[in-house]
Amino acid sequence: MIGEHTGDTATVIIGQRVRPGCESEFKAWQQGINVAASSYSGFLGAEIAEPTAVQPDWVVVYRFDSVAHMQAWINSSTRQERLDRGRHLLDGPATQQVVAGGSRPSDQLVTVVVTHRVDPGREDEFLAWQARLRAAEGRFEGYRGSELFRPVEGVQDDWTALYRFDTAANLLTWITSDERKRLLAEGEPFHEFTSRTVDGSFGSWFDFDEKSGEAPPSETKTAIAVWVGLYPTIVLLSLALSPLKMPLWLGLLVGNLVSSFVMSFVTMPYYVNPLLGRWLRPRPDAPTLRTNLRGLGIVAVAMVFWAVVFYLVTTRFWTLP
């Protein structure tokens, strides 16, 4: 089932071409606009990213705590005056897409934002077509979930679909696939759409929560995954800090601080997630029993490996001071 969000938060994605040679001036001007936005009620954040191979335009993202607060900023005289002053920097009109709802993720993925104009009375047909698209996307390598947002009354008449892949290469495989072309042909009534690809620079702005197609890992899986990363991290840090001979209270204080950073920035993203990714976030069509048995088998092998390594290191090759 595709998540349909009516949440309070509002995200605005603005794409803009910039005149050649004006990039530095545009960035400074846009940063000034973002500062002005921060003084408005409900402002949660703003980011700006330069064009990349995946993302051809400059992209600005605003996030507000409600659609009403977002509208107040977008329609404000403050913003309009600043837009008028910087219009000479722009190469053509900007594109704007609004997403109401959603939450923030913890990983950096490639997100595609697609807006569709749906004729009245064809909503059920559109939803069924979107469900077929999502089912097909889920069978491709690197798929990380999708979300569907209804029109935002008074702001945007279009439906907005978001889907994510772990890399631009895996996204391209889906976009150029024969299966997607076939499904686009099936959705002939909905061919009037605009699409924007947003790279990992904005990964922290696009998450699919419990209502989305990608359910988060269960608490049990999360606890086991943390255990898989925590054991080697703690032992290695204990070995590294042991020569300092700190008292227990200070050693734990320093060790816990360092281990928190190591777990967040090294162990989880570069060891646990690659090792257990298929178990923590299985494909929608993956057999549950087989996936769980495979994941638990990997966990068992990893932990036995570390236990044997640390046993040999601490009893055969080195004795702790």
Handedness of CA 50, 79, 92, 27 (dihedral sign): negative
Q: What is the dihedral of CA 61, 63, 69, 75, to 10 degrees?
A: 0
Residue ranges per structural domain of the chain: 4-205, 219-317
Walk along the chain (321 residues) and give the pLDDT tens digit of each residue. 233 344 467 788 888 889 999 999 999 999 899 888 888 888 888 888 788 766 778 888 888 888 788 888 888 888 888 888 888 998 887 777 777 655 443 345 677 878 888 888 888 898 889 888 888 888 888 887 777 878 877 667 788 888 888 777 888 888 889 998 898 888 878 766 666 666 654 444 444 443 444 455 677 888 898 899 999 999 999 989 888 888 988 988 998 889 888 888 889 888 998 899 888 877 766 788 899 999 999 999 999 999 999 999 888 877 655
Helix/strand/coil (H, E, C) string of 37-81? Answer: HCCCCCEEEEEEECCCCCCCCEEEEEEECCHHHHHHHHCCHHHHH
Q: Which fold has domain 4-205?
A: Alpha-Beta Plaits (3.30.70)
Backbone angles phi, psi at 75, to 5 degrees: -95, 5
| Run of H or E including 308 | helix 288-312
Closest CA to 11 of 50, 36, 42, 56: 42
Return the percent helix, strand and coil in the chain, to nearest 5.
50, 20, 30
- Predicted TM-score (pTM) above 0.75: no
The Cα–Cα gap between 185 and 294 comes to 38
Let me know the angle formed at the C-alpha of 253 by 247 and 255, rounded to the nearest 5 degrees: 95
Provide the pairing of β-strand 4-5 with 58-64: unpaired
